[in-house]
Amino acid sequence: MEKAKISAIQLFALMFIFDLGTALIVSYGVTAGKDDWLSILLGMSGGIILFFIYYPVYRKYPDLPLTSYIGEIFGKYIGWIFGFLYCISFLYIAARNVRDFGDLLSSSTLTETPLLVIHTSFVLVICYVLYQGIEVLGRTAEIFLFVLILLGIIGNFFVLVSGDITFQQIRPPLEHGWGPIITTAFPTITTFPFGEMFAFMMLMPYLNKTKLVKKTWLSALICSGLILSWTAFLNMTVLGLDVMERSTFPTLATIGKVSLFDFIERLDAIVVLTLLLTVFFKAAIFLYSAVIGIVDLFKLKNHQQIILPVGIILIFTSMTIASSFSEHLEEGFDASIKFVHIPFFIIIPFLMLVISFIRNYIKKRSNAK
């Protein structure tokens, strides 16, 4: 644990950017067809429910990171194993994020550059920021929040005025009923990206005002959920279902369609920059969570000494998790949701909640006696 504090605004910036990371750019929720925006809104409400599973447990241990109090809930040894598994899952998701970013870059702008070069340079920068500590990351997020909003305004403005929007594309609504919408929202969208916010359980002790957690968390979740839903809506109205299903990066395709006066064209840079910024913070937060988890579990002195080794593991993992982008996506929507997101962000937190309640209850009873 470092001795650092971040403010509520910084935490908000981190959470907000974290939620937008990759989800804003990669194709997800398309299984809901034309109503993916609705599905994202539902997923957001699922995210709010998840928060109320995480929150009571956090309230009991506001000064400890997840890896510490998980031991107190599940017992020393099982807790330690779970904590370690959490570190690995955080690292795995960080690797997925880096891979998303690398694949976008290598398939859109840097077609000749090897993936390894992109990943290495990206992860090294993340490592550098994390070496400086969470305070630096928080302050950086605070600044880049405004850059991101600016990019969002510019991108939205051009898409809206370009005249590419046809509302026919999202009609008729609910063509196949509520079924596909609900199955997409739960569990896929609920866990990705909203459930992934569980990683912040590792960072919560750094917040200077513990009372503001609820407000910050929920406001960040709702803001980002609305933006994600809006973006999906915009993508669908511009691209239509068919193109949307076939695009690897729908937002990139949407922006790519903008052509104003034969002069304002090829605004892909906006999307690439957005992804760069958001994924940078998302991967950084996951990596940091994994690192301080390891520091905590193995009782190391400080996190600086293992940042670089873990970073190199991250580079290696990001290269080896999938041999192709198709495999990467397939894994992301199937195996990763089933074996990482659902157990680690829904089932275990829920068990933690139940067990801590039971322990509380037993404690109270024994105290009463």
Partner 1 sequence: MNKLITYSKKGLIGIWISLLSLTTGCWDYQELNDYGFVMAVGIDKSHKKGEYLYTFQLVNPGVITRNASGSHATPIATYSQTGRTKLEAIRKMSQQVSRRLFFSHLQVFVISEEILREGAALKVFDVTDRDPQGRINFPVLAARNTQAYKIISALTPIDDISANELKNKIETSKDVWGENRVTLIEEVIENVLASGRDIAISGVELTGDSKQIGKAESILQTRAKGQTKLKGIALFNMQNLVQWADDETARGIMFGSNKIRGAALNINCSKNNNHHLTVIVNYSKTKIKAKITKNRPTIDMNIAAEGRIGEAECPIDLENPDVIHELEQRTSTEIKKEVELALAMGKKNQSDVFGFGDAIHQADPKTWTKWKTNWKKYYPKSQVNIHARIFIRTTGLRTNPYMKERD
The number of residues that bind partner 1 (CB under 8 A) is 21
| Between 214 and 257, CB nearer to partner 1 | 257
Binders of partner 1 among 296-335, rule CB under 8 A? none
Check binding of 368 to partner 1 (CB under 8 A). Answer: no
Q: What angle do CA 294, 297, 303 make, to 5 degrees?
A: 40
> Is there a contact between 25 and 275 (Cβ–Cβ < 8 Å)?
yes
Strand partners, 6: 207
Check binding of 353 to partner 1 (CB under 8 A). Answer: no
CB of 189 to partner 1, least distance (A): 24
Cα gap 169→153, rounded to integer Å? 23
| Between 4 and 165, CB nearer to partner 1 | 165
CB of 5 to partner 1, least distance (A): 35
Binders of partner 1 among 261-290, rule CB under 8 A? 265-266
Among 117, 264, 335, 358, binds partner 1 (CB under 8 A): 117
| Between 26 and 91, CB nearer to partner 1 | 26
Among 3, 76, 112, 367, binds partner 1 (CB under 8 A): 112
Among 78, 107, 211, 363, binds partner 1 (CB under 8 A): 107
Check binding of 168 to partner 1 (CB under 8 A). Answer: yes
- The stretch near partner 1 (CB under 8 A) out of 60-68, 90-98, 107-115, 334-342 is 107-115
Binders of partner 1 among 138-167, rule CB under 8 A? none
| Between 8 and 110, CB nearer to partner 1 | 110
Check binding of 77 to partner 1 (CB under 8 A). Answer: no
| Between 152 and 240, CB nearer to partner 1 | 240
Binding mask 222-261 for partner 1 (x = CB under 8 A): ------------------x-xx------------xx-x--
| Between 262 and 365, CB nearer to partner 1 | 262
CB of 176 to partner 1, least distance (A): 9
Q: Which of 332, 136, 145 is nearest to 223 (CA)?
A: 145
Among 2, 59, 78, 109, binds partner 1 (CB under 8 A): 109
Helix 348-368 and helix 66-74: axis angle, to 10°? 60
Cα gap 113→115, rounded to integer Å? 6
CB of 76 to partner 1, least distance (A): 47
CB of 287 to partner 1, least distance (A): 22
Check binding of 110 to partner 1 (CB under 8 A). Answer: yes
- The stretch near partner 1 (CB under 8 A) out of 5-13, 92-100, 113-121, 285-293 is 113-121
Residues in the site for partner 1, rule: CB under 8 A? 107-114, 117, 168, 171-172, 175, 240, 242-243, 256-257, 259, 265-266
